[in-house]
Structure 1
Amino acid sequence: MFEISYTEWIGYLASVVLIISFMMRNMKALRIINSTGAILFVIYGVMLEISWPIIITNIFILALNIYYLTIRRIPN
């Protein structure tokens, strides 16, 4: 009756994690949670038989988050 594929579950989970990340007041927490969402979206893009727009965008977002979390550290 109501079946959702694993691919759709990953997409929904990525969306929820992304939304939660934007509710964070702490910038470090926002970037960590947002990175998790970006990783999930990359997995989702691969599961969609390689959806390059989703994959490229989220790899770029992940790279920016890693940059700000490591090289250009964010104060708590």
Structure 2
Amino acid sequence: MEFLGITITEWVGYLASAVLLVSFMMKEVNKLRIVNSLGALLFVVYGIMLQTSWPIIITNAAIIGINLYYLLKKQD
């Protein structure tokens, strides 16, 4: 399935890239981690849509885990 000559899989990849880029414009670290995690989650979906691209899935799952660790870690 295509939209404007681009496959849905590619659209998910472009959206993931855009969200990831936007995350780096955040001044507040927690907001950056939340938006960055959303981008990483979209990349995991993209990796799955690519007939299971493990390097993309593993790297972005790790990024989500790291972001969650710091988001949930008690502030001292």
TM over 0.5: yes
Change (3 A) 1:9 1:70: same
2:63 maps to 1:70: no
Give the aligned length: 73
Higher relative contact order (CA 8 A, sep 6+): 1
* Structural mapping, 1:26-37, within 5 Å: 26-37=28-39
What's the TM-score, normalizing by structure 1? 0.91
2:62 maps to 1:60: yes
RMSD: 1.4
**CA apart distance, 1:54:** 0.2
Change (3 A) 1:54 1:73: farther
Counting aligned pairs with the same residue, the percent is 58
Higher-strand-fraction structure: 2
What's the TM-score, normalizing by structure 2? 0.91
